[in-house]
Structure 1
Amino acid sequence: MRLTLLSFLFAATAQAAPPPAPPADTLLSQTLEQVSPTRLQARIERLAAFGTRHTTSSQSHPTRGIGAAWRWIEAELRACAAGTPLQVETRRHTEPPGRRIAAPTEIVNVLATLPGRAGSQRVLLMLGHYDSRNGDVMDAEGEAPGANDDASGTVAVMEAACLAAQAAKTRPLDATIVFAAVAGEEQGLLGAAQLAREFDAGAGVEGVITNDIVGSPRGALGEHAPHSLRLFADGLDPLLRLLLRGANAETHPRLKAQQELAAAGGAEDLPTAQFGRHLQRAVEAYVPGFQVNLIQRRDRTLRGGDHLPFLERGLAAVRFSEPFENYAHQHQNIRVENGQRFGDLPEFVDPAYVARVTQANLAGLLSLAWAPGPPAEVRVDARELSNDTRLQWAPVAGASGYRVLWRRSEAAQWQQALDLGPQAREALLKGVSRDDWVFAVQALGTRGQAGLAAYAPPKGN
């Protein structure tokens, strides 16, 4: 049997070619077409109309403050969940006084969960934070409409949840998707940190996307990039920060595993990097003309967002953000100075752009949730000296085949691919030196959709 399999692999290596584009998917395309700029704009205006959504603003006022905001978000999600598998809930905890909170404060996260198939442990998360602030981070009473930061990300989460729920009625998901509107970002990523703690114990979180400041393609100096989106994806920097702070990799299996991957040549291929590559390819395949700029940094310079608490636990997490940030419309009191209008107001948000960002999220998440999970025990067999490369991996439940990937170390995306059948557990790449290339394996679904790639470290025993 081994000779037969290897003979097949020898012949198959001649068929290596650049990785194919993600397959056409009518249901996914139809779902993306239903994203409504009008609905997104209406919801942004509604969130801004709460006056302020400061984390420590009123929880009880019927029309103003963060309490009114989260109750409205919950009601909107429950309305669209009717007749679908979508499950809506609120999760609450109390934060003690701290640097940006003067008194104990209840933090409410609103979650809409779309379950995957029974028995699947795979989880994907999409986040946006619904709290807001003005020029004074402690001002809980002043106007803080937060239209772009981050009503834009919140309404993208809401729209994606509602449309994904309809799609899942037609084609159930393999992986669970959690759509979360979180609070406390402006006070120190409080809601996201709590959510990260809750999901940390699970082994199946494959990817987290936070959408923060995704409302406008225009810059302060007239720049305009309506078909461009930044994607910050870096798992190495948070890993190094944890280790430098004294985190004990020996007692944290996820950190230890990633440290070993990095040490084995996989510094550019940790789970966050693989998730970022998937998102870039999926978005550019399913959202025509929309370009994702993959940036190998955890976030903007010396700044952060709600994906960081997940990254700090060794989970794959990335940030979508608009191509430019206009700081006159971010963390500002509403005013006019020298003829310029300041403030984070709905008039400075482009609903058509938010719609494309929403489509980007749906394309990345649904294409992955309908694909198999990444293979385990992927390795380059380096027990013998050779100018060929042999890869091995463990089977993946539900996989209809496997794709071996390789690229030069300096390349951002995979450059070569070889597809194999469902029984393949290894591949021999003749004339492809393990010294010159980086390798990975991904599982393929029945419609040809590819799951996340798993880096193949060299193993000598």
Structure 2
Amino acid sequence: MRKLLLIPLLPVLFISTHVAAREAPSQPRLKGSVEKLVSFGTRHSLSSATDPMRGIGAARTWAASEFATISARCGGCITVERLSRRFVGPRAPDGVVIEDVLGIQKGSDPNRYIIVGGHIDSRVSNEMDATSDAPGANDDASGVALVLEAARILSKEKFAANIVYVAFSGEEQGLWGATLLAETAKARGWQVDAMLNNDIVGNSVGQGGLRVADRVRVFSEGVRVSESLAEGVERRAVGGEDDGPSRALAKAIDGVADTLPGKFDVFVDRRPDRFGRGGDHEPFLREGYPAVRFTVGAENWDRQHQNLRTENGTVYGDTIEGMDFAYLAKVTAINVAILARLAAAPAAPTGVTIAGALTRDATVAWQAVPGATSYRIRWRRTDKQDWTDSRIVTGATTAVLKEVSVDDHFIGVAAVGADGAESIVTFAGRAPRR
């Protein structure tokens, strides 16, 4: 057996050689992108796909040109792809071609992918109204602006995983653009390590004037929608309801946010999305990929899905006046930081198991991960939500945690790269019986 080195450590921050020089997201650039998207009048998915000035087609062409400009500045590091398919449904009874605009930043590992997206389409009160002005400033030009700014910043660095920056169409018609990309990723055999959906991420004043400028909500599933009945039975047996891959991703995002200046918090919302509502991360969850949704701390529903008007002194409509670009820049910074960490890190370990029934010690084992120079074992008591203890293991794929009872502790393992970048944590299941 290879030599085992167990090193107790305090929490360690991922420090890339590029982080110190990485610029902060630009509020003027974010605002400029939102203003440009608003200028297309409506971006309804059933609006014109050919008009060069107004409608969804003009907006998508502009987004593609932005990715191309960023790519030109980094020597062609980003490949622009326009992915399309015809969809038919209640909100498009005659059918419509839905097109996603992708910027793919190649990594050194051809199989691994990290996806960050926002939807480029917009709507007003009537979901079938494809002609009225639908500025969609916060919903969701804010998300597309964030994606473009993340691409501009991160294109200056090189990573192990591929990063896919995407402007989805068809979100308001039925999450069609996200469905298209999720199914394409599965068909192409992509290993999607994480998907970040940014939808309504640019305002700090909610309904009734409630101001929430110090946090962003990150929604995540705990129990995987994609799991089989047998997997569900096993998950229940080991108590993994709060530690599925998407919840692990949300916890990692929370940890990254704590390392950034400004004390801008991640509110880990322990449900897949807002109550009774959905978003573009859901098709990725159905395919079994870790996926989360970023959304503002307090929504203003008068500014969502509304015809532009003023009634009894109340302004309705999703216009740029309702946005806060300092807030959007902070949400962008969190996205950039977690994208950089996960794209630089090895993949999350597989085959993580624990054994130790009827003993006071836990034996942890996992499969070796390409590119990992060490592994971090994390654990916590079963009455805690967040990891409290950790050890680094070098030179082995098994370890014994003394005086850590499997009856009273949850355990997981993350892979660590040479520069300290760490994957999300894989929750430990039961070791096979012998």
Smaller-chain TM-score range? over 0.9
Question: 1:456 deviation in Å?
Answer: 1.0
Residue by residue, what CA displacement relative to the aligned partner does 1:37-70 show, whole Å, maximum 9, x if unpaired? 0011011011111110000001111111101110
Q: CA RMSD in A?
A: 1.8
For residue 218 of structure 1, the aligned residue among 191, 199, 205 is: 205
Between the aligned partners of 1:372 and 1:77, the Cα distance in structure 2 is: 26
Secondary structure at the counterpart of residue 187 of structure 1: helix
Question: 1:203 deviation in Å?
Answer: 5.5
Identify the residue that residue 48 of structure 2 maps to in structure 1: 58
**Pair 196,263 (structure 1): closer, same or farther in 2 beyond 3 Å:** farther
Between the aligned partners of 1:86 and 1:259, the Cα distance in structure 2 is: 43
Do the aligned residues in 2 keep the contact of 1:407 with 1:439 (CA within 8 Å)? Answer: yes
Q: More displaced, 323-332 or 403-412? A: 403-412
Do the aligned residues in 2 keep the contact of 1:287 with 1:360 (CA within 8 Å)? Answer: no
For residue 156 of structure 2, the aligned residue among 166, 186, 205 is: 166
Question: Aligned ranges for residues 58-97 of structure 1 at < 5 Å?
Answer: 58-82=48-72, 83-96=75-88
Do the aligned residues in 2 keep the contact of 1:52 with 1:145 (CA within 8 Å)? Answer: yes
Identify the residue that residue 331 of structure 1 maps to in structure 2: 305
**Pair 361,29 (structure 1): closer, same or farther in 2 beyond 3 Å:** farther
Do the aligned residues in 1 keep the contact of 2:15 with 2:421 (CA within 8 Å)? Answer: no
Do the aligned residues in 2 keep the contact of 1:21 with 1:285 (CA within 8 Å)? Answer: no
For residue 425 of structure 1, the aligned residue among 380, 397, 416 is: 397
1:185 partnered with 2:171: yes
Question: 1:316 deviation in Å?
Answer: 0.9
Gapped regions of structure 2 (runs ≥ 5): none
1:38 partnered with 2:10: no
Do the aligned residues in 2 keep the contact of 1:235 with 1:311 (CA within 8 Å)? Answer: no
State the aligned residue count: 430
**Pair 309,259 (structure 1): closer, same or farther in 2 beyond 3 Å:** farther
Question: 1:32 deviation in Å?
Answer: 4.4
Question: 1:25 deviation in Å?
Answer: 3.6
Do the aligned residues in 1 keep the contact of 2:372 with 2:417 (CA within 8 Å)? Answer: yes
1:450 partnered with 2:427: no
Do the aligned residues in 2 keep the contact of 1:374 with 1:452 (CA within 8 Å)? Answer: yes
Question: 1:445 deviation in Å?
Answer: 1.3
Residue by residue, what CA displacement relative to the aligned partner does 1:216-257 show, whole Å, maximum 9, x if unpaired? 011122222222100001141634xxx7xxxxx3xxxxx865
Question: 1:374 deviation in Å?
Answer: 1.3
For residue 290 of structure 1, the aligned residue among 228, 239, 264 is: 264
Gapped regions of structure 1 (runs ≥ 5): 244-248, 250-254
Identify the residue that residue 233 of structure 1 maps to in structure 2: 220
Between the aligned partners of 1:155 and 1:258, the Cα distance in structure 2 is: 38
Between the aligned partners of 1:436 and 1:112, the Cα distance in structure 2 is: 45
Do the aligned residues in 2 keep the contact of 1:148 with 1:349 (CA within 8 Å)? Answer: yes
Q: More displaced, 287-296 or 154-163? A: 287-296
Between the aligned partners of 1:101 and 1:334, the Cα distance in structure 2 is: 23
Question: 1:258 deviation in Å?
Answer: 6.6
Identify the residue that residue 301 of structure 1 maps to in structure 2: 275
Between the aligned partners of 1:126 and 1:259, the Cα distance in structure 2 is: 32
Between the aligned partners of 2:208 and 2:15, the Cα distance in structure 1 is: 39
Question: 1:259 deviation in Å?
Answer: 6.0
Identify the residue that residue 200 of structure 1 maps to in structure 2: 186
Identify the residue that residue 246 of structure 1 maps to in structure 2: none
Identify the residue that residue 405 of structure 1 maps to in structure 2: 378
Between the aligned partners of 1:62 and 1:140, the Cα distance in structure 2 is: 16
Secondary structure at the counterpart of residue 402 of structure 1: strand
Identify the residue that residue 388 of structure 1 maps to in structure 2: 361
Secondary structure at the counterpart of residue 236 of structure 1: coil
Amino acid across the alignment from 1:238: V
Do the aligned residues in 2 keep the contact of 1:287 with 1:359 (CA within 8 Å)? Answer: no
Between the aligned partners of 1:259 and 1:142, the Cα distance in structure 2 is: 50
TM-score (norm 2): 0.94
Do the aligned residues in 2 keep the contact of 1:111 with 1:180 (CA within 8 Å)? Answer: yes
Question: 1:381 deviation in Å?
Answer: 2.3
Question: 1:29 deviation in Å?
Answer: 4.4
Question: 1:365 deviation in Å?
Answer: 0.9
